[in-house]
Structure formats: C-alpha cells, structure tokens
Amino acid sequence: MQRVYFDNAATTRLDPVVLEAMLPLMQENFGNPSSIHGHGRVVRSAIEKARKTVAGLLNAAPAEIFFTSGGTEADNTAILGSIDTYGITHAITSPLEHHAVLHTLEYLAKSGKIKLSLVAIDEAGRLDYDHLETLLKTNPNSLVSLMHGNNEIGNLLDMSRVGDLCQEYGAIWHSDTVQTMGHYRHDLQTLKADFIVGAAHKFHGPKGVGFLYTRPTERGSIHPFIHGGAQERNRRGGTENVYGIVGLAKALEIAYAEMAEHRAHIEGLKQRMIDQLRAQIDDVQFNGLSADLDQSLYTVLSVSLPPSDISDMLLFNLDIAGISASGGSACSSGSEVGSHVLGALPGLDPNRGNIRFSFGKYNTADEVDFAVAKVAELYVGVA
C-alpha cells in the first residue's frame, strides 16, 4: 500500500548528507569532548566548528550559541533561567504557544513565582499587538514569550513589531523559533530577541538535539537549567550529543543553502492542496491564517472539514488510507486530548474534523493528489 508523509511539523526525514557528516563522530571519533587527550580534542574541535557554523548562519557570535537536547529544553532554559536570574515577576504569552512554553509558564504562575498574562487573539489566531503593548505598559519587569510560527495553524508573528515593543518597555523577549528555523532566515544582529531556539529534527537533522541563542545583556548570563558539569561554557551540564550537534550544523547549513529552492517547491505543494481541497470538498475551511501564504508558515496547512460521523476518527481513517498527518500539535499527535490551539480560537466549531498537513522538501505533487483524493473519498456520502 502506498503511504505518504505529511507530518513534517512533527519531525522530518534525516537528510542522507547529514547522516554522512554524523557517522565519523559515531564511529572512529568517539572521544569525550571534555577529555584533554587527542581523542577528546578531535571531538571538541568538531563541536566548536559546528557552533561557528550555526552562529555564522544566524549572524551571531559563537559564544551566543549553546547546544541542548532539543527545542523543549531550550525553551525551558530561556524561560526558567531568565526569570530566576533577572528576578522577573511577570510573563506575557499567548494561548496558542507550544506546551514547552505554555506549561512551563503556567507551572511558574501556579507556584507563585510569576504573574502570567495572555495576549488576546481573534478568531483567526491573530495576536492583538495593542493588547500586548498595554500589558507591557502596566507590567514592568516582564518576560515576553511568543513563537515566530505556530506549529498547528501556521500563523506568523510580526517579529520586528514585538521586538520594538519589548525594547521600548524594557522586557526580555524569548521566541520559540522551532518551526521557522531552517525555513526562514534569522539575522540576530537585527532581530531584537534575547532568546531564540532551534531543534534539528525540524529541518532534516537528527532528533534529540537543539540549541539556544542568548543575546548578551547588561543583566548578565542566565543561570543554567541543567547543572552537573562545565560543558557548554558552564551553561548546560552533561556530555554533549556530539554527533547530534554535528548533524544539526550540517542540516542548518544545507537548509540555508537550499532555502529558496525548497520554499518555492513547498509553497507550490501547499497551494496545490488548497486549490484541490476547495475544488473537491464542499465547505472546506482552513484554520487560522494557514491558507494565506503571506501570513503563515509555508510548511503548514490546517484544514477544517465539514461536520460528519467520521470527524472523531478522521486521523485513524487517514492512517488506514496510507496518509500520515496530524490533528493538532506535533508533540501530542497520538493523544486523545483535543488541540489547545484550535480550542483557543473563538467561534471554532468543535464538530468539524481538523487535519494538519505539514510539508517538506521530499514531498511531491503526486503525494498531494493522493492525499486529497483520499480525504475527498472519506467525505463522499458521510456528511
């Protein structure tokens, strides 16, 4: 049976060139990078070369990049570290954030360590920037945590506008850039974020490795999230995931080199799916701004299908039909709990079936045609 993969926002296929770069660190160059002998020095050199590669691509300094186990750890490090180090008493986020951010801030609020405010959104998930400014005006010493690209509905944040507001009101700004890293260019000399994050497996690198960028500040470096060693310039204890780090750097290097080509290809696939879904299914809708290529991630399309008897079993039926997709957040795609992102959108009909299709460079037009045909087939005569 033919199977197609449209869950690239959850994870992407490892690029063979990335694997090739990783193999020497998994086999012959096996030393501990903290060891001072020859075996260790070779591996330490590979880590520092990777750090320079990532920093160069992002227009940052190598000392501003440190490696983590992934996006979740990087988000937690930025949030917990800045609140602890800088004595922050108030945090601002949105109800649409990834749980790595939302659950962390909710935990801190319940523990009494911070006051938490949520920025208002409209029915399409657009952020109310005037409300954000009001929150900043009335709450000094704030941390703002807002993602660049939403992992479920694809909405893009106006990074420049948020950066200007945070700078004006003296707020620390952390942005979860997991979904946009490797797909959009980030110039950290012009972007005013204090922290951004990346996870290699979102741009055809290995799982279990990510990084955190930290902007130098007069307030000093944040306290580490993980203690236990002097690794990563005393910012993250634990022996480094060396082959993961090397793979991350190679994957990001490829992503930047081929970004324009891949974007054109993927945008074409997304538009093809939008057009075909509209042509073949009555009353198909799209959640958030995901059908607007100018205001959403070109890799994500959130589809809302008419209410029917199969809405509750939609993903199961698609899987049986050979289509791997998601109904919500990538990190909880196997959960029976409904999407908190879709649930936060005012006026969303809970009886409609929702699918998130997310595209990558290995997808083809034939796969789009196959997926749309299967979805249309499911909806014939069942509404």
172-213 residue pLDDT tens: 999 999 999 999 999 999 999 999 999 999 999 999 999 999
pLDDT for the residue numbered 220: 84
Q: What is the 3-state secondary structure (H, E, C) of 144-213?
A: EECCCECCCCCEECCHHHHHHHHHHCCCEEEECCCCCECCECCCCCCCCCCEEEEEHHHHCCCCCCEEEE
Query: Which CATH number describes the domain made up of 16-257?
Result: 3.40.640.10
Percent of the chain surpassing pLDDT 70:
97
pLDDT for the residue numbered 291: 98
For the question of whether the overall pTM of this predicted structure is more than 0.85, the answer is yes
Fold match, 4-12+258-379 / 16-257: no
pLDDT for the residue numbered 210: 98
| pLDDT-wise least confident of 159-163, 191-195, 231-235, 291-295 | 231-235
Report the pLDDT averaged over residues 78-92.
97
CA distance 262 to 251: 13
Using only the alpha carbons of the chain, give its radius of gyration. Answer: 21
Query: Which CATH number describes the domain made up of 4-12+258-379?
Result: 3.90.1150.10
Total Cβ atoms within 10 A of residue 364: 11
Token pair 């399309």 is found at 301
| pLDDT-wise least confident of 247-251, 304-308, 377-381 | 377-381
CA distance 295 to 291: 9
pLDDT for the residue numbered 328: 53
42-53: pLDDT as tens digits = 999 999 999 999
Q: Which two tokens stand for residue 301?
A: 């399309």
Check whether 383 has a pLDDT greater than 50: no
- Does residue 300 contact residue 358 with C-beta atoms inside 8 Å? yes
Q: Domain boundaries in the chain?
A: 4-12+258-379, 16-257
Report the pLDDT averaged over residues 126-153.
97
353-358: strand order across its sheet: 285-286, 300-305, 353-358
115-118: strand order across its sheet: 65-68, 210-214, 195-199, 172-175, 142-145, 90-93, 115-118
Which residue would you say has higher pLDDT here, 310 or 267?
Answer: 267
- Does residue 307 contact residue 352 with C-beta atoms inside 8 Å? yes
- The band of 61, judged by pLDDT with boundaries at 50, 70 and 90, is very high
AA letter at 343: G
| pLDDT-wise least confident of 69-83, 125-139, 229-243, 308-322 | 308-322
Known catalytic residues are 331
- Does residue 290 contact residue 126 with C-beta atoms inside 8 Å? no
Percent of the chain surpassing pLDDT 90:
87
Check whether 329 has a pLDDT greater than 80: no
pLDDT for the residue numbered 1: 77
| pLDDT-wise least confident of 27-41, 244-258, 321-335 | 321-335
Total Cβ atoms within 10 A of residue 123: 10
Token pair 């649930």 is found at 343
Mean pLDDT of the chain: 94
pLDDT for the residue numbered 143: 98
CA distance 287 to 277: 14
Who contacts 56 (Cβ-Cβ below 8 Å, separation ≥6)? none
Report the pLDDT averaged over residues 225-239.
91
Q: With the CA atoms of 30, 31, 33 and 34 taken in that order, what torsion angle do they form, in degrees rounded to the nearest 10?
A: 150
Who contacts 365 (Cβ-Cβ below 8 Å, separation ≥6)? 268, 269, 272
